[in-house]
Amino acid sequence: MALAAETDRPPSPPPAARARRKPLTWSRARHKALPYLLLAPAVCFELLVHIVPMLVGIWISFKQLTVFFIRNWSSAPDAGLANYRLALKFNSAIGQQLLHSFYVTLGYTVLVVAISWFLGTGASVLMQNPFRGRGTLRTYFLIPYALPAYTATITWEFMFQRDHGAVNQIIVRDLHLTSHVPFWLIGGNSFAALVITAVWRTWPFAFLVVTAGMQSIPTDLYEAAAVDGAGVWQGIRKITMPSLRPVNQVLVLVLFLWNFNDFSTPFVLFGNVPPQQADLLSLQIYDTSFQTWNFGSGSAMSVLLLLFLLIVTAGYLVATRRARSADA
């Protein structure tokens, strides 16, 4: 415990400052150590839950950890950069597949984040002013977010089935929009099915966050604007959106990270072998690790994914901060 707490000690003061200090007495040391001791359990758990598994994952990515070594995985031979080379060799089957999945995942994430954000923001703007039944409607909107991921997705899977699904029942047999019965879970439409399901699951969160953010916008701002002759649209553009900027900055980032890593939606919808058009990276990593039992390659792909998301996050934070300081 005490050892772990040492890591959190702030950087030593410069020598000049140190010289002026009184010598460290036992009671002073005890006094100073107290906050760290109180923090120690949290630090320990953080290490156990996040840092150690992440380090182990990175370590595995440099190992040839296949079925032959999982029993005694510390004896797996070194792979050097071979796992990374395999993943990044874009003219081989695996590298090509991975690059394809990367583009699909990127397209999927951008679409889901954009649509979810528009729906969430639109709904919260419409519900900004009180009306009868607003509370009920808000609760109703949040249901998809409260449902367990599996339950929600498997319901969509049933609805998208070609012969017995509700979607085809409505668009083909009830509304006669098309004469041929389309597939949703295989082929080109599977990407649309995936995006629809993910948006349905994600937008309530955007709605929740934006609604919360709007509570802090003072109503007299709108009143003053109305006196000056501003319409509803100008109110949204000039007051609501700028006030929501810090909220949106975090919201878009979080939505991006969640959806880029999303595993349960495609897995429940398509099983472990998704259609080409909806082949997300997380499923590729799962297949490499748990179907072909090549944990080294799977970890290398995970590390690459992590690096990409780190770069995106850092770039995004820098860009949004710069934009904000340019505004100010």
With contact defined as beta carbons under 8 Å apart, do 206 and 251 qualify? yes
Shortest spacing between CB 48 and other proteins, in angstroms:
6
Which one, 211 or 288, has the nearer CB to other proteins? Answer: 288
**Angle in degrees, CA 274, 275, 278, rounded to 5:** 80
Stretch that binds other proteins, among 91-99, 231-239, 256-264, 312-320 (CB under 8 A): 91-99
Q: Does 263 bind other proteins (CB under 8 A)?
A: no
Stretch that binds other proteins, among 65-73, 169-177, 226-234, 300-308 (CB under 8 A): 65-73
With contact defined as beta carbons under 8 Å apart, do 313 and 253 qualify? yes
Three-class secondary structure of residue 63 per DSSP: strand
Stretch that binds other proteins, among 210-218, 225-233, 273-281, 300-308 (CB under 8 A): 273-281
Q: Which tokens sit at 311? A: 């770069």
Cβ atoms < 10 Å from Cβ of 233: 8
Cβ atoms < 10 Å from Cβ of 287: 17
Which one, 121 or 288, has the nearer CB to other proteins? Answer: 288
Shortest spacing between CB 150 and other proteins, in angstroms:
12
Q: Does 264 bind other proteins (CB under 8 A)?
A: no
Q: Does 313 bind other proteins (CB under 8 A)?
A: no
Dihedral, 258, 262, 265, 266 alpha carbons, nearest 10: 150
Q: What is the CA radius of gyration of the chain?
A: 26
Q: Which candidate, 252, 236, 255, 243, places its Cα nearest to that of 324?
A: 243
Which one, 4 or 111, has the nearer CB to other proteins? Answer: 4
Positive or negative CA dihedral for 156, 157, 158, 159?
A: positive
Residues 6+ apart with CB under 8 A from 253: 313, 316, 317
Q: Does 290 bind other proteins (CB under 8 A)?
A: yes
Shortest spacing between CB 124 and other proteins, in angstroms:
37
The one among 10, 12, 130, 136 contacting other proteins by CB under 8 A: 12
The one among 78, 163, 220, 327 contacting other proteins by CB under 8 A: 163
Q: Footprint of other proteins on this chain (CB under 8 A)?
A: 1, 3-4, 6-7, 9, 11-12, 43-44, 47-48, 52, 55, 66-68, 70-73, 86, 92-94, 96-97, 161-163, 183, 185-188, 271-273, 275-276, 287-288, 290-294, 297
